[in-house]
Amino acid sequence: MTKTRVLAALLMAPLAILAILFLPTPWMAALAAILFLLGLWEWLKLAEIDDTLQRTVLLVLNLLLMVLLLWASGRPLVLLQIAALVGVGWWVVSLLWLRFYNFASDHDTHARVFKLAAGTLATLPAWCALVLIHSDQPYGHRWLLTALMIVWAADSGAYFAGRQFGRMKLAPRISPNKTVEGLAGGLLAGIVVGLVMGWYAGATVVQLPALMLLCAVTVLFSVVGDLFESLLKRHVGAKDSGTLIPGHGGILDRIDGVLAALPVFLIGKEMLGL
């Protein structure tokens, strides 16, 4: 499984990097919308929306919200900035849900409503943040790649550190395989890669402490996103969100950390002057 996981990553990563670096922002926004909506489709399935027509309608409504936000935002894309800020607020609130992990686990309409709202609050702000980061001149594409590589490095670092050194469980009732040692390994990997990529994106030596702080916060929120998806899967007894990616599961299994990390990275980058 590890070999399959690595091979799939080696195939996907170059394609993603090429798209980020060379596609213009409108095309990047469209590609990201497709990817995020596919993840939302799996999220809706985990929220126990089993009817295909219902899921399709909900997906179209979220697509329309994306189009409306972009169309009505104008310059400097104020509505997208507000949406990203709302996303940060949502992920902070989600910590409370993770603490009371049985909330909305009762498989009825009441539970589904909360999970549907959570899906939109996770997906739309992340997409808005991606568009804003990529469109920022002159090196927005490099900063977006930095944000994503922080998450990718943290995920890989946590995976291998957890397998090698993992002893203390991080959140055993939500995700039994995650360990404190894995978190530490992911944090270290994310910071190291983030510093290198931040330098590539234009960060100066003076900005390195702020960049290190941004990398650390981005990694921690990516873990929150990962844990929240694990919570959804735990509620319905699912191992993966889907089977589309060999060794990785579904689309949502690959972008859960990204959904939480992108709004935090955007707002943190602006607050720290990077």
pLDDT of residue 1: 52
Which has the higher per-residue pLDDT, 249 or 60? 60
Each domain of the chain, given as residue ranges in start order, spans: 2-271
pLDDT band with cut points at 50, 70 and 90 for residue 72: confident
CA atoms within 13 A on the CB side of 121: 18
**Distance between CA atoms of residues 29 and 135, nearest Å:** 10
Q: pLDDT digits over 240-273, tens only?
A: 777 666 555 689 988 999 999 999 999 999 999 9
Q: pLDDT digits over 94-134, tens only?
A: 999 999 988 988 887 788 899 999 999 999 999 999 999 99
Phi first, then psi: give them for residue 208, nearest 5 degrees. Answer: -60, -40
Distances (CA, A) of 152 to 111, 165, 194: 31, 20, 10
**Distance between CA atoms of residues 229 and 242, nearest Å:** 12
**Distance between CA atoms of residues 219 and 265, nearest Å:** 9
CA atoms within 13 A on the CB side of 154: 33
DSSP 36-77: HHHHHHHHHHHTT---HHHHHHHHHHHHHHHHHHHHHHTTTT
